[in-house]
Structure 1
Amino acid sequence: MAEFLTDTDFEKYRSLIYNESGIHFSNSNRSILESRLRERLRSAKTESLTEYYEMINRDPEEMKVLLDSVTTNLTRFFRNTAHFQTLEYYVIPDLVAEKRKRNETRLRVWSAGCSTGEEPYSVAMMLRDLVPPDIAIEVIGSDISLKSLMIGKEGFYPENRVVGVPEKYMELYLEKKNGGYQVRDEIRNLVKFDYHNLKNDSGLRGLDLVFCRNVLIYFDEPAQKSAVNRFWDAMNSHSYLFIGHSESLFGMNTQFEFLKTDWACIYRKFLTFT
């Protein structure tokens, strides 16, 4: 029986995926790529990897579908308690004080690689609860997965997906219906979802807070550094970056400052002007 994904095919596809998204497939996760390609060939009604390769190169929409299929969309509400403790007890009070000092009335957040929306909604709930009402809140959730973004926009989650939401937020911001929970409009209206490939500049600027957790692990070092540098360009002179607890910027020679709080380690951009 002929091998489905030959070494030549593997190199060809992983190079294409890397060039399009920054996602790196090593030999150890070759089987994941193979299973995803099998699924796409069945859906696209083609049996040839060569034919499918030609298809995705001429059809940008099919390319998006392929990139969607090779991403891992694992998330949950208020994931990593220590990060949200840092947000609640350190970052939000500091950002509010900075807004007051500068007479600014908007706080902007980007959840990069937001998957099905639990992270941006979690952040929005906490901000809505803790930020004074005269400071406007704007949360942008972006992802490379169109299917995940549609779930996020809908804002409806099965009961087993809302485990971890603090009780007060369950009562304030989630409505029980149809065997699950609907995020109330008060929170949904704070969050805008949009397709974005972290390989490219988002066009966002003036961000006070960026969450990009458990995404950089899928990139190799050059792609990681490029993404992190684009975060820097998008962020305010006084702002914070949250990455996954298993991720680190050490050795990457970035401009971000490492910050160890009482709850978790994060990064900040802190520029002073004289």
Structure 2
Amino acid sequence: MERFLSEVQFKKFRDRIYDESGIHFSPSNRTILESRLKERLRKSGLETIDDYFKLISMKDEEMKILLDSVTTNLTRFFRNTAHFDTLKHYVIPDLVSFKREAGDKVVRIWSAGCSTGEEPYSIAMMLKDQLPAGFSGEVTASDLSLKSLMTAKEGFYPDNRMNGVPEHYLKRYFERVSNGYTVKDEIKKMVTFDYHNLKNDSGKRSLDVVFCRNVIIYFDEAAQQAVINKFWDALSRHSYLFIGHSESLFGMETKFEFLKTDWACIYRKFL
């Protein structure tokens, strides 16, 4: 069967996407790239795939649309409950204790690769519920997908997307609307959404926690190393890193310490 892309074309697109985002397409996931390119070629009205390559080379907007289409936006509220149990029972109490002594009453968390917003809203709800009086939480949420960010900012989720939300959170932090729920303004105000490519430095500093789960699996080793180094720079001297349960920093040159809690394994930066 003839392939949609020649070997030369596959290499051109693969290298361009990697240079722009750090996302790596190998021969094993080539079919995903080909199917997304077929769709973009059809929607752009161009005749050949080489014409489409010229388009992404000339127009940043189309490059963003292509990157959006090749990223996977699988998420849900309170995904991997063990991580949220760790945040609730270990990380938040530790940060509150540390910050009290330091005279800082704000907990700052970055949800990197936030998709359609379920993760950062879950984090914000937990901060709202768990932080003691006098403390506040700030959540920055970023993604490579503009389409996902638009959904996240709107804060509306149909009934079938509400699985995993604890009943008392559902009653307290959501408003019932037809066919679904919207996140209440008190939670929305805690979250700032931002378009960001993890290949670039976010400019963020002094963060207390970074959540970047099931994102670096799409990167090769060099891109993974670069992203983890950027997280180190973004975090404060007493802070935590959550990555996906199938991801690991094992074998990577990193200063992060592995931390096994009663609920999940995470990483920390303690200086």
Structure 1 residues 18-38: Cα deviation after superposition (integer angstroms, max 9, x where no partner): 000000001001100000000
Q: Aligned equivalents of 2:166 and 2:47: distance in 1?
A: 48
User: How big is each residue's C-alpha offset from its partner over 1:201-234, in whole Å with a ceiling of 9 and x where there is no partner?
Assistant: 0111110010000000000000000000000000
Instruction: Report the 3-state secondary structure (helix = DSSP H, G, I; strand = E; otherwise coil) of the residue aligned with 1:236.
Output: strand
Overall identity of the aligned pairs, in %: 67
What CA distance in whole angstroms lies between the structure 1 residues aligned with 2:235 and 2:134?
22
Supply the distance in 2 between the matched residues of 1:223 and 1:117 (Cα, whole angstroms). Answer: 24
Question: Is the 2:36–2:69 contact (alpha carbons within 8 Å) kept by the matching residues of 1?
Answer: yes
Matched, 1:117 2:141: no
Residue in structure 2 matched with residue 142 of structure 1 by the alignment: 142
Describe the SS at the equivalent of 2:76: coil
In structure 2, the partner of 1:83 is 83
Q: Which runs of 5+ in 1 are unaligned?
A: none
- Aligned twin of 1:17: 17
Counterpart CA distance in 1 for 2:178 and 2:39 is 31
1:249 — aligned with what? 249
**SS at 1:197's partner residue?**
coil
Give deviations 1:116-153, integer Å, cap 9, x for gaps: 00000000000000112322211011000000000000
Whichever residue aligns with residue 63 of structure 2, its letter is M
Aligned to 2:44: 44
Deviation at 1:101, TM superposition (A): 0.9
Within 5 A, what are the aligned runs for 1:210-249? 210-249=210-249
Partner Cα separation in structure 1 for residue 35 and residue 252 of structure 2: 33
CA distance in 2, matches of 1:249, 1:157: 33
Mapped to 1, the partners of 2:107 and 2:81 lie a distance apart of: 22
By how many angstroms is 1:47 displaced?
2.0
Q: Deviations over 1:149-191 (max 9, x none)?
A: 0000000000010110011100100111021000000100100
The two structures have a TM-score, normalised by structure 1, of: 0.97
SS in 1 for 2:45: coil
Q: Residue in 2 aligned with 1:167? A: 167
> How far, CA to CA, are the matches of 1:201 and 1:233 in structure 2?
9
Question: What does residue 54 of structure 2 align with?
Answer: 54
Counterpart residue number, 2:64: 64
The answer on whether the counterparts of 2:110 and 2:140 sit within 8 Å (CA) in structure 1 is yes
1:114 match: secondary structure: coil
Q: Please tell me the residue identity of whatever aligns with 2:33.
A: L
Cα distance in 1, alignment partners of residues 192 and 117 from structure 2: 10
Post-superposition offset of 1:2: 6.0
In the other structure, the counterpart of 1:186 is 186
Structure 2: give runs of 5+ residues left out of the alignment.
none
Q: Distance in 2 between matches of 1:12 and 1:163?
A: 41
Contact map agreement 2:128 2:136 (CA 8 A) in 1:
no
Aligned partners of 2:149 and 2:194 also within 8 Å: yes
Distance 1:180 1:216 in 2: 31
Query: How far apart in 1 are the matches of 2:217 and 2:8?
Result: 25
Instruction: Please give the secondary structure, in 2, of the residue aligned with 1:238.
Output: strand
Q: Structure 1 CA distance, aligned partners of 2:231 and 2:63? A: 25
Two-structure CA RMSD over aligned residues (Å): 0.9
Please say if residues 159 and 180 of structure 2, whose CA atoms lie closer than 8 Å, have aligned partners that are also in contact: yes
For residues 197 and 218 of structure 2, the distance between their equivalents in structure 1, rounded to whole angstroms, comes to 13
Q: Distance in 1 between matches of 2:49 and 2:3?
A: 12
CA distance in 1, matches of 2:107, 2:209: 8
